Amino acid sequence: MTTQSLTSSSSCEKGVMRLPRRLCVTMVFAAAAVMFMYLIYFNNEFLMSKVRNDEISSTHNPLLVGVVDENPAIGISGQLEYDQQLEEYNDTKSSKLNMTLLSHHYHKVLILTPINNAERHLGHYFELLNNFSYPHHLISVALGEDSSYDETLKTAVELAQKYRKITNFRKIDIYELDHHWKPPTNDRHDLFIQGPRRNHLAKARNRLLSSALSDEDYVLWIDSDVREIPPNVMQYLIAAQKDVVVPSCLYRKGDNSLDDYDRNTWRETNESLAHLAAMSPNQLMVEGYARTRRRYLWSLRFEGDVVPIDGVGGCVLMIRADCHRDGLTFPPFVYKHHIETEGLAKIAKEMGFSIAGLPRLKVFH
Ligand SMILES: Nc1nc2c(ncn2[C@@H]2O[C@H](COP(=O)(O)OP(=O)(O)O)[C@@H](O)[C@H]2O)c(=O)[nH]1
Ligand SMILES: [Mg+2]
């Protein structure tokens, strides 16, 4: 019986090598398991296009996420020294940003913030706005809330009433947007909900914009949960004289070193462009979930004060209001593989608008 099973019905490949069927099956399963692990850890693109039909793409190698390219020309010790100089940057006048322009001509700025389940952030958010050194009589503020489970709307209305009394902002308005939206209950950073989540956020931003924009020269988008913003942030952003401009939005890691929080602010590389070219037309690229092929803004700080970039996030984002008036909005659809703020950057490029980052100007999430 045993002999028979080994020689006939249990052979794996007759004439080459004879293995018990169980061993064959085990080996096949082991190979499949290894293959599966490989797909999970190193090739999320495949998994995503198969598991869900959302046409989301990314790569996945968490170990490499957020690695900042070091400038080989500076070297480690030189770089540390340079970092110390950069620490003082926010308080000093930049040699390249033309701050003198500002003393002659101040612009009206509309601060826009979409809010959802942001009740706990709003007190600090209003304190940040109140600390801005830019003339308050040139600043308008509008918040657009929808679908919160907490008391975001009520808190926003109360804080608006309070700050209307104690500041001289031109206006502080709260809008209630679309309450038909049911946000996914997953973790908001779950990769698979980024398509619908950012589709909705793009619509919320556009609705807020069309409701609130009047005669302002600039729109400054600020997320409600940003922790630190230099009081003179507007002066720096305006001094860059770009159509679309962002600071570095960072967070402090456990060892107190800095890293990009906002991974939607990036510059394309040859590798990333080749990757995009190989994607199917409506496939969505979700940046920040994997080994990136882009350069994030903080890694560009050695190039200077104002550097060209190709993608922007909404953490702190200034846009010349006329660009919005000319039709620049946040696409809720996939445009050139991107959506919402990154999609806006792609459209801005197409429309001939300038896009820049101020990598040394730091805000903290
Ligand atoms: N109106 C509205 N605002 C939202 C929604 N989702 C997020 N926000 C707000 O958009 C900003 C950015 O969202 P956040 O979750 O902080 O993004 P993250 O930091 O990139 O994960 C914050 O001010 C949120 O309160 C939404 O569905 N509707
Ligand atoms: Mg946030």
Domains and CATH numbers, the chain: 2-42 (no CATH), 75-364 (3.90.550.10)
Give distance in angstroms: CA of 349 to centre of ligand 1: 25
Report in angstroms the alpha-carbon separations of 64 from 67, 107, 149, 161, 192. 6, 41, 35, 46, 20
Give distance in angstroms: CA of 201 to centre of ligand 1: 7
d(CA 268, CA 295): 7
Partners of residue 249 on adjacent β-strands: 363
pTM (2 d.p.): 0.76
Per-residue confidence (pLDDT) for residue 146, from 0 to 100: 93
Chain centroid offset of residue 114 CA: 15
Establish whether residue 114 lines the binding site of ligand 1, counting it when its CB lies within 6 angstroms of any ligand atom.
yes
d(CA 202, CA 183): 14
Q: Which residue has the tokens 């946000």?
A: 183
Name the residue among 350, 331, 351 with its Cα closest to residue 341.
Answer: 331
Establish whether residue 144 lines the binding site of ligand 1, counting it when its CB lies within 6 angstroms of any ligand atom.
yes
Per-residue confidence (pLDDT) for residue 105, from 0 to 100: 61
Give distance in angstroms: CA of 315 to centre of ligand 2: 7
* Ligand sitting nearest the alpha carbon of 146: 1
Establish whether residue 113 lines the binding site of ligand 1, counting it when its CB lies within 6 angstroms of any ligand atom.
yes
Name the residue among 91, 123, 41, 89 with its Cα closest to residue 305.
Answer: 89
d(CA 99, CA 164): 29
Establish whether residue 342 lines the binding site of ligand 1, counting it when its CB lies within 6 angstroms of any ligand atom.
no
Give distance in angstroms: CA of 263 to centre of ligand 1: 15
Q: Is 186 helix (H, G, I), strand (E, B) or coil?
A: coil
Chain centroid offset of residue 307 CA: 17
> Position 245: which residue type?
V
Give me 355's structure tokens. 């896009």
Give distance in angstroms: CA of 224 to centre of ligand 1: 8
How far apart are the two ends of the chain, measured CA to CA in Å? 70
Q: Going residue by residue through the chain, which has 365 residues, state the pLDDT in tens, using 9 for 90 and above.
A: 333 333 333 444 444 456 577 777 788 888 877 766 555 444 333 222 222 223 333 322 222 222 222 322 222 333 333 344 444 444 344 445 655 555 546 899 999 999 999 999 999 999 999 999 999 999 999 999 998 999 999 999 999 999 999 999 999 999 999 767 676 666 667 766 778 889 999 999 999 999 999 999 999 999 999 999 999 999 999 999 999 999 999 999 999 899 999 999 999 999 999 999 999 888 898 887 777 789 999 999 998 889 999 999 999 999 999 999 999 999 999 999 999 999 999 999 999 999 999 999 999 99
Give me 270's structure tokens. 């040859």
Per-residue confidence (pLDDT) for residue 193, from 0 to 100: 74
Per-residue confidence (pLDDT) for residue 100, from 0 to 100: 55
Establish whether residue 115 lines the binding site of ligand 1, counting it when its CB lies within 6 angstroms of any ligand atom.
yes
Which secondary structure element, helix H or strand E, spans residue 248, and what is its range?
strand 244-252
Establish whether residue 177 lines the binding site of ligand 1, counting it when its CB lies within 6 angstroms of any ligand atom.
yes
Per-residue confidence (pLDDT) for residue 348, from 0 to 100: 98
Residue having the nearest C-alpha atom to atom 7 of ligand 1: 116
Question: Phi and psi dihedrals of 70, rounded to 5?
Answer: -90, 150
Give distance in angstroms: CA of 159 to centre of ligand 2: 20
What sign has the CA pseudo-torsion 174, 201, 336, 222? positive
Establish whether residue 303 lines the binding site of ligand 1, counting it when its CB lies within 6 angstroms of any ligand atom.
no
d(CA 259, CA 248): 9
Residue having the nearest C-alpha atom to atom 12 of ligand 1: 223
Establish whether residue 183 lines the binding site of ligand 1, counting it when its CB lies within 6 angstroms of any ligand atom.
yes
Establish whether residue 57 lines the binding site of ligand 1, counting it when its CB lies within 6 angstroms of any ligand atom.
no
